[in-house]
Amino acid sequence: MAIFLDNLSVHHSGEVKERLEELGIPAIFNAAYSCANNPIEHAFSVVKHYFKRERLRCIQQGLQEDPRKAIMNAFEKLNLCEIRNMVVRSNKALK
């Protein structure tokens, strides 16, 4: 038996390592996360940009914000070319 952990800093603490040793449980750590290898991170970055811009516009103009509509509109800003480029960049980062 082993325990599979992500790379949360507390999982690497001396206290956790000591306790696992006491229990005789080896720790297996997940590979370090890299957003450059994950195209969805790029897509969400674009969506968040448009969402925040729309939210700021509503605040500046004193308009009632509809978050669901703003999120849908932000996703509509993604186009096939951008998505393709995100995947290409991620593939290059993996090489």
> Does position 36 have pLDDT exceeding 70, yes or no?
no
Average pLDDT value for residue range 12-21: 94
DSSP 8-72: -GGGGSHHHHHHHHHHT--EEEPPPP-GGG-HHHHHHHHHHHHHHHHHHHHHHHTPPP-HHHHHH
pTM over 0.85: no
Strand partners of residue 29: 5
Structure tokens at 52: 């925040």
Mean pLDDT, range 14-29, rounded to an integer? 95
Single-letter amino acid, residue 35: C
**Strand, helix or coil for residue 3:** strand
Confidence tier at 61 by pLDDT (50, 70, 90): very high
